[in-house]
Amino acid sequence: MDFSISEEQASILLSVDKMISKFLPPEEVRKRDRNYEPPDFLLKHYAELGLLGIPFPEKYGGLNEKWLTVTLVNERLGYFAAIAASLYGTTLGFGGMSFLKYGSEDQKKTYIPKIIEGKLRFSLALTEPGAGTDAGALITNGKKINNGWLINGRKTWISSADKADYLVTPVRTIPNSSGSDGISIFLIPRKSEGISMTYLEKVGNNCLTSWDIGFDDVFVSDENIIGDKNDGFRNLMSTLHYSRSCQASNAIGQAQNAVDIIKKYVVDRIQFGKPLSRFQTVRHRIVDMQSRVDQARMVLYRLAWLIDEGKRCRIEAAQAKILASECLQYVTHHGMQLLASSAYSLDSDMQRLWRDSRLYTFGEGANEIQKEIIAKEIGL
């Protein structure tokens, strides 16, 4: 097994470091979190550095690089700010990879070059009030009319929908079908007539805006179906390992940042005449944290390798997502204890990481469902 990072990957990561330290230094991350101001401008810098072209074939303007490189970049972005990685991961995860894996040739030629240029954004509009973990229970429906469809229904908790050009929206197109049957994936232009959006307030991830979306007779043309008509849910499920790997790499980046913050604090902080890091109960806890981060990271890199080899990876995608999200919660939970009052201040990075971490064990497919996926795959 080769765990080395290529010279090219190292140089891409260096360019990411320079770009983020210039445009999104820690004080800017704090300010934006306090003011609920997403750093959307980063997308153009990602495009300038070629980061958005990494996984796409050259014929669409991409670099034809490995998914491992996407994973490394996303982890590094997550280290600096969760929102920086979310912006990158959602643009490539279910945005770009949906087109690449199950879009028509025309759709690939139309959309992928614009994604690479940082000119297109997508939100996945899957969750509904009655269809959360059980996503196949969705009831948003499409009625066939001349040249297109009329969409009616409601989606909820849709991230960054206010900034999306298109809502990637699973819709039931066969009336009375159930579960994953009879669903098509629509690319719904976000500014379509009949769409209403309500902002949702929440406890963390302040820069990741959340929306409840109503669809009232929204017209969408036939050509805006992506993947198989009436069988799109399976298309969507077949690309989930991309978005899960992005979710995991973002969480691991944040967890490593949290460990580094904790390490610095316990080395600098003197109590009872010596640094906190000299107390065995403190240092062992940090060793446990770093071990969990490394364990999750190894599973994540293995997932990226399997993706690059074109091998089946349902187990590893679920494992990476579980381990990364649980590790982030473990590290930030103990970080709040170890930094104590200084973490409880709203100026502290630890409280932001702790608040943000709560999402990861249930978002992007709850961990309980990831365990069900693994159980089925191992024959239970």
By CB under 6 A, what part of segment 342-361 binds ligand FAD? 359
Q: State the minimum distance, in angstroms, from the CB of residue 157 to ligand FAD.
A: 4
Q: State the minimum distance, in angstroms, from the CB of residue 183 to ligand FAD.
A: 13
Give the C-alpha separation, 66 to 69, whole Å.
Answer: 5
Give the burial class of 337: count Cβ atoms within 10 A of its Cβ; 0-12 exposed, 13-18 middle, 19 or more buried. exposed
Q: State the minimum distance, in angstroms, from the CB of residue 343 to ligand FAD.
A: 22
Residue bearing tokens 């009319």: 145
Binding of ligand FAD at residue 199 (CB under 6 A)?
Answer: no
Q: State the minimum distance, in angstroms, from the CB of residue 73 to ligand FAD.
A: 21
Q: Which is nearer to ligand FAD, 8 or 368 (CB)?
A: 368
* The token pair that represents 374 in the structure block: 């693994």
The secondary structure of 57-122 as a DSSP string is -GGGT-----HHHHHHHHHHHHHH-HHHHHHHHHIIIIIIHHHHHHS-HHHHHHHHHHHHTT---E
Asked whether the beta carbons of 313 and 301 are under 8 A apart, the reply is no
Site string for ligand FAD, 151-180 (x = CB under 6 A): ------xxx---------------------
Closest-approach residue to ligand FAD (CB) = 132
By CB under 6 A, what part of segment 65-94 binds ligand FAD? none
Asked whether the beta carbons of 165 and 40 are under 8 A apart, the reply is no
Q: State the minimum distance, in angstroms, from the CB of residue 41 to ligand FAD.
A: 21
Of 76-84, 117-125, 180-188, 218-226, the segment contacting ligand FAD by CB under 6 A is 117-125
Q: What is the CA radius of gyration of the chain?
A: 21
Closest CA to 69 of 48, 47, 51, 45: 51
Q: State the minimum distance, in angstroms, from the CB of residue 137 to ligand FAD.
A: 9
Residue 302 CB neighbours (<10 A): 16
Binding of ligand FAD at residue 127 (CB under 6 A)?
Answer: yes
Q: Which is nearer to ligand FAD, 102 or 157 (CB)?
A: 157
Q: State the minimum distance, in angstroms, from the CB of residue 159 to ligand FAD.
A: 3
Give the burial class of 116: count Cβ atoms within 10 A of its Cβ; 0-12 exposed, 13-18 middle, 19 or more buried. buried
Q: Please, where are the H alpha helices in the chain? A: 7-23, 26-35, 42-48, 67-80, 82-90, 97-102, 105-116, 232-237, 240-268, 280-308, 314-344, 349-357, 367-377
Q: State the minimum distance, in angstroms, from the CB of residue 357 to ligand FAD.
A: 12
The secondary structure of 40-52 as a DSSP string is TTHHHHHHHTTGG
Closest CA to 111 of 157, 71, 168, 160: 168
Site string for ligand FAD, 248-267 (x = CB under 6 A): --------------------
Binding of ligand FAD at residue 123 (CB under 6 A)?
Answer: yes
Site string for ligand FAD, 133-152 (x = CB under 6 A): x-------------------
DSSP-derived 3-state class of residue 366: coil
Out of 50, 61, 113, 132, which residue is the one contacting ligand FAD (CB under 6 A)? 132
Binding of ligand FAD at residue 368 (CB under 6 A)?
Answer: yes
**Cα-based angle 335, 340, 341 (whole degrees, multiple of 5):** 135
Binding of ligand FAD at residue 362 (CB under 6 A)?
Answer: yes
Out of 69, 169, 205, 348, which residue is the one contacting ligand FAD (CB under 6 A)? 205
Binding of ligand FAD at residue 124 (CB under 6 A)?
Answer: yes
Binding of ligand FAD at residue 210 (CB under 6 A)?
Answer: yes
Q: Which is nearer to ligand FAD, 351 or 357 (CB)?
A: 357
Q: Which is nearer to ligand FAD, 229 or 355 (CB)?
A: 355
Number of residues counted as binding ligand FAD (CB under 6 A): 18
Q: Tell me which residues touch ligand FAD (CB under 6 A).
A: 123-127, 132-133, 157-159, 202, 205, 210, 359, 362-363, 366, 368
